[in-house]
Structure formats: structure tokens, C-alpha cells
Structure 1
Amino acid sequence: MARYKNETALKTLGLRIKAYRIKAKLEILDLVVMTGFSYNTISDIENGSETTISYFIGVCFALGIHPKEMMDIEFDVKSKNPLTPDRLEKSRLTQRIRDLIQSGYFNDPRSTNEVTKNLKEIHKLDFESKNVSVILTRFATTNILNVTMKGNRKIYINKSVKTY
């Protein structure tokens, strides 16, 4: 995958930093002394080259400007790529399972098929139980749910529920 770079934002920020530096009657060499960064690093930032957040913050602090003030720029705010319907539904599915956990649904032992059936009935959606199984396993590995075997089926129960 190609490295992401928002050239418009970097150029805009670089020009703002340069303008603040000039307004403060400072040379690049002054910022070098104030930040401990190299001349090329400061010059690259002002010219819109890629930088780290730490360098950006350091230059802002040297100029006496809070980084959020420097970032107060009008941008067309949108993600590089839209979320696919499939990915969006998986995110929603995770949240819906989290909601079931918080509601006490898993205070009783539940199988993947039970959870899938419940979610399909409530939300009128069509998805595979393997998607639910992956999410339940993730909740089990993060110690939110306990998982036990009943025959060849996994059974999930809320971690906070005592089992005897």
C-alpha cells in the first residue's frame, strides 16, 4: 500500500508556520536553536514536506503557538476512502453484541447460534454466524466473556457471572 500524504494540508501548515516565524522576526536558524531540530527539518516542515507530530508540536511551541491554533484551518473533512457496507455492518455488529453484553443478555450461557438468531430477529439483518463467532471470540480473549465447550459448541457467558 502506498504511503498516505495529504499534500494540501502539509503545504498549508508549512506556509502558516513560515508566516508565524516571519511575523515573530525569526530566522530558520533561530528555530533550530530553540527546538534542537536540524535546519533541514524546519525547512522541510515550512515547505510542506512530511513530518512527525512531535516535530510539528516542537516548532509550534518554539513559536509560542498552541498546535490547535496552528491547525485552525478550513479543510474539506472526509476520509480518504469510504467505509464499505460490509465493514460498516461488521462494526455495527460488534457494537450490537457489546450492547447485548451490557444489557445482561450473556448473564445466561449463550451459543453463537442463539446470539445470531437474536440479532437477526431484533435488527432484521442477514449475516452469517461465523461473523458473530469471530466477535464473540474477541470478547472472550479480552476477558469480557467466558467461553466453555458444550459438546462441540462454544458457549459464552458474561465474565462477571459466577458459574458453579
Structure 2
Amino acid sequence: MRYKNEKILSIIGKRIRDQRKIKELEIEDVAEMTGFTYNTISNIENGSETYFSYFVEVCLAIDIHPKEMLDFDIQVKPRRKLSPQRREKSRLTYRIKGYIENGYFQTLRTTKDVVIKLKEEYDFDAASKDVSSILRRHLKAVKKGNRNFYKEK
């Protein structure tokens, strides 16, 4: 089953309906201005799931900026907490991208070179398999014997 935040969708839908009524517009009027069906507009106002682009077009039709429809108090926190393992992989990717941007790979480097550099600079014990996976995505691999060396593309 698809996820939807029913509480927030309901608040947004009510705000759109209230604004439409303030503008003295019927659902049919908004449907004509957007090219969407009556049911699509009704579903948005009732808090049913919708595409973001539909939401934007309905806001424009009722002459209100979409950000105004989204300006209400909500608890700002992710639905699920980011796992420490995923967070470390993201940090690892950004650190390696930093090395790329700063010219570290203008000369050939091995995965082991990068693991050592990460340990020295960040006191971080990166797994070779994680480092090599990132290197393969962002750099050119040069095979010398049975070892891979990486350099800028």
C-alpha cells in the first residue's frame, strides 16, 4: 500500500477549498481553468493523494501562491530515522567527492590509498568494498596487474 500523510493532505485540501470559496469559485470553475476533472479537484480538496503539479495548478487557478497553502505548523521530522550505517555511507561519498574536487585523483590512487587517507583525516575506518564501490561510480578505473587504480575521468 502506498504511503500518504492523511493529516497534512487534509489540512492542505481544506485550505484550498476555503480559498476557492473566498474567491467565489465552484469546483467546476477550477476544473475549467486547470483542465482537470471535477473529481480530481474534489479529491485534492478532500485530502486524497494528488500529484504535486496538480496541487500547483489548482493553487494558481485560485490565485494563490502554493507556498501560502503550505504555510502551517507541522512537526518537522522524517518519517523514519536515518540509520547510522546509511549516514556513514553518505558521509563517505561526500568525503571522496571532496577528494575528487580537490584533485587528489589527478594521480593514480588505489582503494587502499583512499582508506588510509580517510583514516588519517577523519579517523574513520572505511571498508575497502564501500570505498571501491564509490570510486567505481565517480572515477575511471585503470587495471594494472590485478589491482585497480583510479583517476579522474
Regarding TM over 0.5, the answer is yes
Superposed, 1:4-153 pairs within 5 Å as: 4-140=3-139, 146-153=140-147
For 2:30 and 2:104, how far apart are their aligned partners in 1? 59
Moved over 2 A (4+): none
2:150 aligned to which of 135, 138, 156: 156
For 2:63 and 2:105, how far apart are their aligned partners in 1? 53
For 1:31 and 1:55, how far apart are their aligned partners in 2? 11
**RMSD (Å) for aligned C-alpha atoms:** 1.1
State the AA in 1 paired with 2:152: N
Identical positions, percent = 52
Runs of 5+ consecutive residues of structure 1 not aligned to the other structure: 141-145, 160-164
* CA offsets 1:93-126 (integer angstroms, 9 cap, x no match): 0111111112221121100111111111211122
Aligned length: 153
What is the deviation of 1:48?
0.3
State the AA in 2 paired with 1:60: C
| 8 Å contact from structure 2 (residues 16, 59) kept in 1 | yes
State the AA in 2 paired with 1:75: I
| 8 Å contact from structure 2 (residues 56, 66) kept in 1 | yes
What is the deviation of 1:158?
2.2
- TM-score of the aligned structures, taking structure 2 as reference length: 0.95
- TM-score of the aligned structures, taking structure 1 as reference length: 0.89
Runs of 5+ consecutive residues of structure 2 not aligned to the other structure: none
What is the deviation of 1:129?
0.5
What is the deviation of 1:45?
0.6
State the AA in 1 paired with 2:137: R
* More moved, 120-129 vs 4-13: 120-129
For 1:32 and 1:105, how far apart are their aligned partners in 2? 56
